[in-house]
Amino acid sequence: MYSIGEARKRLPQDYVDYLYRAFTPKFGDAVLQAAARPLPSSLRVNTLKSDVHAVMASLRSCGLKFQRVPWSKEALLLDAPREKCLRSMAEYDRGQIYLQSLSSMVPPLLLPLAPGQNILDLCAAPGSKTTQMASLMQNQGSITANEVDILRLERLQYNIGKQGSTIVGTMNMDGTKVGRLSENTFDAVLVDAPCSGEGRFRLDEPKSYRSWRPPLVQKMARLQKRLLASGLDAVKPGGHVLYSTCTVNTAENEAVIAALLKARDDVELLPARLTGLKVTAGLTQTDEERWPSALKLAMRIWPTPNMEGFFCCLLRKRA
């Protein structure tokens, strides 16, 4: 475990300066404190192959300590990083559990999914949320999982097969073009966009922040705007789109949604909330006044000792 002072020194200086310039000091301290600690392991029980009580019994038999997560019936949080132990379990080999960060489990839970729907996962690899959605839909309906990178597509296909997500079909396309080719097709779309990954910075994993540069943020924001527009084109009128990133800055989060609201009049924001999950705004009052008031409905998850930083926004395409 490191100190906040060490986090200030090790993380990119432009990033640290931005945190304290754009957000409250309390938020900046929380982000650095989270980055200074190893993230404990968490897993999602694959209800297509097992149930949470059976997995809990198996964890106890292995001497692993864990706790339930109040906002997800399938999520378990371990007491420390235990990835090696979890990967050695038979349940992992059988696809009965999926090692997934808690924050990553949030976006599918915010979408109003139901068995029988036709869903698009626009940026799907490695398949964490794709397979989670298949479980939530009880393997009934259809999910199109798109991935532009061929190597990541192979990993996606492997995880889909291992998890037994038989309703999922894969596609290898530029996500920004999918909407034009599949206009008004899907009941719901997940746009878990590529991002600068600031919410995942950890000092014990230097590769998580080593390549970060300010130009990367702007590059990602331009791509995210195009992906979100594509997702909205692809969803049916009356359907839902969930936009999410695992980053902290406003350029890839609030500003992307604000630009969309300015460019289109066929979309509205809905509350992004989960019972039992506490979220707190990190923006200063001045910053809040810059954005459309509807953005208060979005969810900003602070990086914490147990959770990565995440942003989620639930949208509906007007009928």
Hey, which residues are catalytic here? 246
| Distance, CA of 166 to CA of 156 (rounded, Å) | 13
| Distance, CA of 283 to CA of 289 (rounded, Å) | 10
| 139 dihedral zone (left: phi>0; alpha: psi -120 to 50; beta) | left
How many C-alpha atoms does 137 have within 13 Å on its Cβ side? 28
* Residue in 150, 148, 155, 149 with CA at minimum distance from that of residue 177: 148
Helix axes 13-22, 25-35, angle to 10 degrees: 140
Secondary structure class of 46 (helix, strand, coil): coil
| Distance, CA of 128 to CA of 300 (rounded, Å) | 20
User: CA 62, 42, 143, 318 torsion: positive or negative?
Assistant: positive
DSSP 285-304: HHHHHHS-GGGGGSEEEPP-
**Across-strand partners of 315?**
241, 269
Helix axes 214-234, 254-263, angle to 10 degrees: 40
Helix axes 150-163, 128-136, angle to 10 degrees: 30
Question: CA of 247: how far to CAs of 42, 68, 153, in Å?
Answer: 19, 25, 23
* Residue in 44, 43, 314, 319 with CA at minimum distance from that of residue 191: 314
